[in-house]
Structure 1
Amino acid sequence: MKWLALPVLAVALAACGTAPKKSPSPSATGGAVRPSPTAPSPTIAGKDCSRYAAAQEDLATRGDYTAGGLYKPGVSDTTPDHVPDLDCIREPVVTAEARSRVGNKSPYSVLGKQYRVLDRVDGYVEQGTASYYGNKFHGRRTSNQEVYDMYAYSAAHKSLPLPSFARVTNLDNGKSVVVRVNDRGPFHEGRVIDLSYAAAVRLGITQRGTGRVEVRALTPDRSTLAASPAAAAAAAAAAAAAPSPSAMDQLVGQLPKDAARYHVPAKPGDAPSAAGFEAWMKANGVRVASGKPGVPVAATPVASTPAVPQTAAVSPMAPLSPVLQLQVASFSSRDNADRALARLIAAGIADARLSDVPGAERPLWRLRVGATDAASAEALAGRIAGLGFGRPQIVRD
C-alpha cells in the first residue's frame, strides 16, 4: 500500500493547540510495533515497570482526520491522572538509524505552509516553545508509521529527519532529556517541538502546558553533547533561586530511602514516634495539612441507607468511591513525598495518593487519602495522626 496522503500523516499526531487535560489513560490494543529502543525492563531497581512496556497500535485511532490533516480537531487531548515513574523510563540510545521510508518527503506542505526536511543535522540548535501530547494520540501511528507512546521519550519536529535524536533542555530550570524524533509537528505558530508526555514531565512543563526550550540535534559521535551556555546558565539560575526545603520536607527526608519505593513496607522503627513528631511540629510552628479550611468531621451529614427487607435478595456491593479527601501534607520534594506515601501504604492505608500542583517556583506534591464517609474519615484521621503526620484536614476542591 502506498502512503499517498503524506501531508495528512504529517499532522495526524502533532498539531496540538492546547495543553492536554488530565483523565484516565485509555487502553491500547492490537497491532504490531517496532522494537522500542526506549522500552523498559520489566523491573528496574526493584520496581515493576511492566506498565511502561512499548505501546501497541490502538486500531481505534486510525482515520478520523479532517481536511488539512488535523486528527479529531474537536476532541481535546488529555493526560493520565497519575505522574509516570520516570525511574522506569530510559532515555533512548543515540544510534545511526536509516531514515524511514515515509515521513521524510521534502518539501511537504501542511495547512498551506511548506516545510523542508534537513539533509544533515550536524550543528542544529534552536530555541523556542515546546508543547506536548498525550492520551488522544497514545497508540496512534506517527508520521513515519511507528506507534506514539506517551511513556517513551520521543518528540515531533517539523524539519529533523525521522528518526533522529535531540537533547531538549528547559531554559527555565535547566532540566534536559534526550528524545527520539519520530513524528512531524507541531504545526502551531511559535512552537518548535512537541514532546511526549513522559518527556514533558521530565522537563517540568506539564503544569503550564508549554515551556521555553533549546533543541539540540545529536549524532552518535556527539551523543554526550551538553546543552548550550544559555541552558547551563538557566540550570545554575534555577538552582540558585530554588526555595529552601520546607520543614516537612526536611523531616520526612530523614526517613530511610527504602521507604520511597511504592508498595514496599517501611522498616519497623525507622520513622519518628508520634509524640516526637508532634513535639517537633509544635517547636517549629509547622502545620502539616494545607489547603482550604477543613470541615469538621462531625458536621458532615451521613446519608442514611433505607432498610432492606430480609426477604430481598442481597447483591454483592461494589467498592465505594472516595467522597471525602483528607489532606495529609504538601511537599516541595518528590522524594520526600514518595517516602511519606510509602509510609501510609505500609501502614495499610491503600487509598493514599500523590498529585502534582503548581507552586510559586516549582511543582508541589500533595498527599491525600480518600474516605467514603465521615465515619471512615474520622478513623483514617486517627490512624494517620498515629503515624506521626499530625491530624489531617478534610478538604474540598
Structure 2
Amino acid sequence: MRSSNKAFAALCAAAIGMVSVAAEAQPSAMVEDQPILLGEPYSVAGVLYRPADPAAYDEVGYAMPMEAGSKGELTANGEAFVADAITGAHKTLPLPSYVEVTALDSGRTILVRVNDRGPMRNDRLIGLSPGAVAQLGLSGPSAAVRVRRVNPPGQDQVALRSHERAAERLESPPALLKVLREKLQQTRLPAPVAQAPMTAAPARAGATFDRPQPRPVTTKPTAAAPASKEQAASGRYFIQVGAFSSRANAEALAKRIGAQVEQGGNLWRVRFGPYATRQAAQAGVRAAAAQGFANMPVMAKDGR
C-alpha cells in the first residue's frame, strides 16, 4: 500500500513538473489589433503629416532600422517596443496595420506589423525593428524597399502579434524588381546622404541594383543647437528619448541621433541637452522629432 502511495506521489510530481515546464514555454503576451489608431494630422520639423487609412497602399522608398520605439520603450500606439518582433514604423498608415516589405536588391519579402510612427525623414519610407531587418537580410543604415499594405491570413496576424515571424512571402521575380527600381528612380526621392545604403545578400546570381545618386543638399537638416560651456554649466533642461539598462545600447542610439548619454542609477539615459531655459530646449524637441521621437517633453534635471 505504501508502495502505491509512493508511485502516486511520483506521478503527481511529474505532472506538476510538466505543467511548470509548459508554463515556462509559453510565449510572451500577445498584443491586440484593436483599437486601431489613426490620429490627427501632426507636424514635425515643419513638415505636416496626415494619417490616412487607404484601402490600397503600394510605395517604394528607403527603409531604416529602428532601435527603439518613438516614445523610447513604447511605440506610438502604446505597445512595448520588442526588438525581436517583426514590426515597423510609418508616418501615416493606421496603427496597427500589415505590410509586405520587399528588398529591391534581392527580391526577398516579409510580412511586417506596423505599430509605430516614424521615421521622420523625407528620404525614409519605413522604419524596421531589428527583428524585421534580420528577417529581411539587410545590413547598414538604409535599403531600397517596396512597402505594400496587405490583409494577411489570421495565422500570420497571430504570429506577428505574438512577436513571432509570419511565413515568408515568395520572392519578387526579376522582371517586377526591375519595374520597382525604375519606379524608385522616377519618384526622385533623395537617396540617403553621406551614408552607405543597406544591402542584402543577392538571392540569385546577377541580382544588382543601380542606386539613384544623392541629390545636392541645399538646406541644413534640423539639429539640436550645441550648448555653450556656460549653458552646459547652468543648463537644467533636457529632452530624454530613452533609458536603457545596457550602456552599449544607449551609446549606440545616442551616436545614431547625435544625443548624449548620462547615467542615473542603474539606467543609461539618452538625452538632448542640457539647455539653460525651456525655450532653448525646444531645439532638442525638434531634433528628437527629426529622428522619429515625436512629442518628447521638456524635462528638468531636478525632476528626474
**TM tier relative to shorter chain:** 0.3 to 0.5
Greater relative contact order (Cα < 8 A, sep 6+): 2
User: Greater helix share, 1 or 2?
Assistant: 2
